[in-house]
Structure 1
Amino acid sequence: MDRADNFPKKIRIGIIGAGPAGLTTALAIEYYDRKKRFEVTLFERNSSPTDYPGVEYGIQERACRAFERIGIREKALHRSLRARKITFYNSRLEKKFRPIELDGDWTRHVVRQEFVADLVGLVKRAKLLTNHEIVSVRPNEDRSVTLKANIGEGRNEEFTFDAVLSCDGSSSTTRSQLFPMQDEKRDQGFSCIYMMLEAEKPLEAEERYLAMTNAGVSNLIMGEEATLTTFPLGKGRAAYGIGFDHQSRGHLWSRFDLDPDTEWADIPANTREALARRLVEDACAHDPFYAEMLKHVQDWMSPRVYLWAMEDTDPLHPPYGETGNVLAIGDAAHVLLPTIGMGASTAIEDGEMLGRFLVEGSAGVPGPEVFRQQFADSVAKPYAAERTEVWDDLVRRARTAAEINFTDQHERKRFAVGPQIPHRTASRLVSAIEKAARAAGV
């Protein structure tokens, strides 16, 4: 007899968002829930979790180790490129800085759509509902939570869960409705244009371009107005991230006869290309190669070419509701600037740890009614005590890197290298997490 037969009533968990945080949480619950006590439903507002317009994720050590703990590291990352090094160069000063050497076993580059598709493929028991946009989150008197989902054509449907995990990103419905006093986004003074470069015929592409895409080396190159970051993705693919502050944006937009408030969606393809070229030429004045490689952007109007105004949030304190069983993780709890490449990795670590805390917190609980009453004390509060220190530290590091590497660049003579080092922001905390997991016997 399956041990789950001892618990005829499942504990119902709703997860809002099927990105890295939500999918990893579902996968962690499946791994740790040996008694199959949990029934998990994932809600995705798009027609597929891969529809989000992101280009690239840097999967850092903290995320790789989280995947390792739930037995999916190689399966989740089988299409990744191993990272070897980050180089730093100030073209204005013609000065190189010491590179950071990386361990490719624990630091990877992935194409977002491929990576998310692979995570979806690993989910076995959780139900995934696409085209379900959560429009309201309502705590109930018994601490259960009711979600109202817009399922299209003006129709809504309601779902009630014993606990809801908010993994719905920087525009979180949960955060805006249940934590309105902590929902303020902070403008950090700069923007980034992200784009995918992909050779139509990789085997025929330039040798140097192929080396850039396949060698596992990222480059940060600072100019007068812009900083270019290159991300290798393998198979003749790379991503560019071009960062520039608001002052530079105003000057640049005016050069191309654009109103300062012109939205990216309203800028035509040829102007987008010209803007990107101007910024890359500024950052890489020493080497025209990087601007020339913009020819490998296949479609300038694609969702894989987008402008991201850099905003973050202070982490939620606490990240759980007082009246209902709602807990926020990932960008719903802490929007990290991309300046240290830790956003997705922290969300993945959040999800793996939350899956473990949920299962541990349900141990000895006879059923969902008791679980609902004990969720705050047995899951939410101990989880928050473990994670908020991490979130605070990483938000601070990301802001430091932004201030030094992306704003008022004409005055800068160095890089904020320290916050970029993955193991420096992970090793002590990862060791503590793994020690706790071993002590718990998982």
Structure 2
Amino acid sequence: MSPFRIVIAGGGIAGLTAAIALRGPNRHITVLEQSSLNKEIGALVSLQPNASKIIQSSWGLKNELHGAREMVDEGFRIYNTDGKLVNTIPLLARTIYGSERLLFHRRDLHDVLKEAAVSPNRKGEPAVLRVASRVVGCDAVAGIVALEDGERIEADLIIGADGIVLRKHVLDSEPCAMPTGHSAYRLMIPTKILEEKEPEFCAKINPRDPFTSMIVAHDCRLVMGPGRQGEVYGIVALVPDDQMNEDPHAKHSWVSKGDLEKMLKTFADFPTWVTEIFKHSPDLGLWQLRDLDPLTNWHHGRLILIGDAAHAMLPTQGQGASQAIEDSEALGAFFEGVTEAPSFHALTETLEKEQNIFQTRYARVSLIQAYSRQAAKPATDKGAKLVKMKPDEFMDYNCKYSGAKQWRLEQLAN
């Protein structure tokens, strides 16, 4: 019986969760990661209830997530520039959605997922993770992935979790991501440093409290929260491009470096009790937020795109990583029971046939993309059709998700 050979291009959250979801009898899974160290940068990442439910319940990784020092986000707190709390929005996620919104240091989450993908103690064969393996092309119909060093790897299923190279093998032309008019600085500060060096800030906003805190002023937005059970404090600072003191168009990648002195100039109108904390971040990232319309297709032949490769979205709903996890769950659900290499016809039917992976995922993810764009207005207001849901209704839409097959049945019933 020929094994089901699966090659996953990309060793980030999307690629590793796809490997976890697809593990099973007689399956050979190879994850190709272009970096040599397979390390994630320092930043906070959130898993919304729709995703934390999948990882903890469907994949049985609740204890592992706890070991990654997750924070349960209890809600949102909004402060004015005097440090006065003006609104609290509790997030009763477990009561309403059956799971919590979890905050992680990105590296900790990545390590948990990597271990689950390659562990010999889970069902199916462990995935093989190959680092320093840059994918430069593929033959989607023949099922061949080409690496930079000339190696060619055959696969029955190719999963594009890194879309820069593989999108062109699905689409007629590469889509162009357009600037939204906003950029984002990214900071990560040890909480002990804040408590020792910035008592005024800590007296107003306790960096160990399990809440996402926001300050909105001067057309800028600070979104802040704890990670590693209060050990670190993460900040994302959203800034209009026309207020930047450095060139946002040169910062396409979210791992680009920012300039602290220029950031301080940008936030000069903010009170010093806020801006003084910026200098304590060991690293400062800056990336221009770019928007991408929904792709017309995600798959061709034996290749399917997932995660940001298929549906890059703005961070305003915090659903980017969570939607990648939903994609992975869908792959596992629709290939469940496949224990030998599927024929080309059977595989492409699973990818594209009505009621299967693409049709199940496309409408939902495209709507979440649209709402994420809408939530970032006016920067992204290009006359797009509005999503006619109130925020609480859309929160329900996001978080009451219970897996791809159940979702498809509910949509057909409606």
TM-score normalised by length of structure 2: 0.82
Identity level (%): 22
Alignment of 1:209-288 (within 5 A): 209=202, 212-233=206-227, 234-249=229-244, 252-253=245-246, 272-282=259-269, 284-285=270-271, 288=272
1:10–1:345 CA distance, 2 compared to 1 (3 A)? same
1:281–1:325 CA distance, 2 compared to 1 (3 A)? same
Who is 1:17 aligned against?
A: 10
1:313–1:218 CA distance, 2 compared to 1 (3 A)? same
Task: Find the partner of 2:347 among 369, 375, 390.
Answer: 375
* TM superposition shift of 1:378: 2.4
Is the CA contact (8 Å cut-off) linking 2:171 and 2:297 kept in structure 1? no
Is the CA contact (8 Å cut-off) linking 1:49 and 1:117 kept in structure 2? no
Who is 1:440 aligned against?
A: none
1:49–1:433 CA distance, 2 compared to 1 (3 A)? farther
* TM superposition shift of 1:433: 4.9
Structure 1, gaps ≥5 residues long: 1-7, 254-258, 409-416, 438-442
The answer to which of 19-28 and 228-237 deviates more is 228-237
- The one-letter code matched in structure 2 to 1:190 is H
Q: Deviations over 1:272-321 (max 9, x none)?
A: 22233344454x54xx43222223212xxx4xx21111113223332110
- The one-letter code matched in structure 2 to 1:161 is A
**3-state secondary structure, aligned to 1:359:** coil
**3-state secondary structure, aligned to 1:387:** helix
**3-state secondary structure, aligned to 1:50:** coil
1:308–1:54 CA distance, 2 compared to 1 (3 A)? farther
Is the CA contact (8 Å cut-off) linking 2:248 and 2:288 kept in structure 1? no
Runs of 4+ in structure 1 off by over 4 angstroms are 89-92, 199-208, 259-265, 417-422, 431-437
Query: CA-atom RMSD, angstroms?
Result: 3.3
Alignment of 1:286-365 (within 5 A): 288-298=272-282, 302=283, 305-321=284-300, 324-360=301-337, 362=338
Aligned counterparts of 2:252 and 2:401: Cα–Cα separation in 1: 39
Q: Deviations over 1:156-202 (max 9, x none)?
A: 2110101101111xx52111343143522132121111111124668
Is the CA contact (8 Å cut-off) linking 1:191 and 1:245 kept in structure 2? yes
Task: Find the partner of 1:144 among 139, 142, 153.
Answer: 142
Aligned counterparts of 2:115 and 2:394: Cα–Cα separation in 1: 28
Q: Deviations over 1:93-146 (max 9, x none)?
A: x9934524243751111011111011111122110010001001112xxx4311
Who is 1:63 aligned against?
A: 51
Structure 2, gaps ≥5 residues long: 120-125, 382-388, 410-414
Alignment of 1:166 onto 2:138: no
The answer to which of 428-437 and 40-49 deviates more is 428-437
Aligned counterparts of 1:379 and 1:359: Cα–Cα separation in 2: 13
Aligned counterparts of 1:260 and 1:58: Cα–Cα separation in 2: 25
Is the CA contact (8 Å cut-off) linking 2:304 and 2:351 kept in structure 1? no
Aligned counterparts of 1:432 and 1:261: Cα–Cα separation in 2: 37
Is the CA contact (8 Å cut-off) linking 1:62 and 1:430 kept in structure 2? yes
Aligned counterparts of 2:145 and 2:369: Cα–Cα separation in 1: 29
* TM superposition shift of 1:345: 0.9
Task: Find the partner of 2:108 among 114, 122, 128.
Answer: 114
**3-state secondary structure, aligned to 2:350:** helix
* TM superposition shift of 1:349: 1.5
Who is 1:185 aligned against?
A: 177
Q: Deviations over 1:220-245 (max 9, x none)?
A: 22111311111211343111111112
**3-state secondary structure, aligned to 2:51:** helix
TM-score normalised by length of structure 1: 0.77
Q: Deviations over 1:250-286 (max 9, x none)?
A: xx34xxxxx6766699xx99x822233344454x54x
Q: Deviations over 1:321-349 (max 9, x none)?
A: 0xx21111100000011111110111111
Who is 2:385 aligned against?
A: none
Aligned counterparts of 1:145 and 1:177: Cα–Cα separation in 2: 12
- The one-letter code matched in structure 1 to 2:49 is E
Aligned counterparts of 1:348 and 1:40: Cα–Cα separation in 2: 17
Alignment of 1:133 onto 2:138: no
Is the CA contact (8 Å cut-off) linking 2:170 and 2:297 kept in structure 1? no
Aligned counterparts of 1:62 and 1:98: Cα–Cα separation in 2: 22
Aligned counterparts of 1:430 and 1:77: Cα–Cα separation in 2: 21
**3-state secondary structure, aligned to 1:243:** strand
Q: Deviations over 1:403-423 (max 9, x none)?
A: 14x679xxxxxxxx9558884
Aligned counterparts of 2:130 and 2:264: Cα–Cα separation in 1: 41
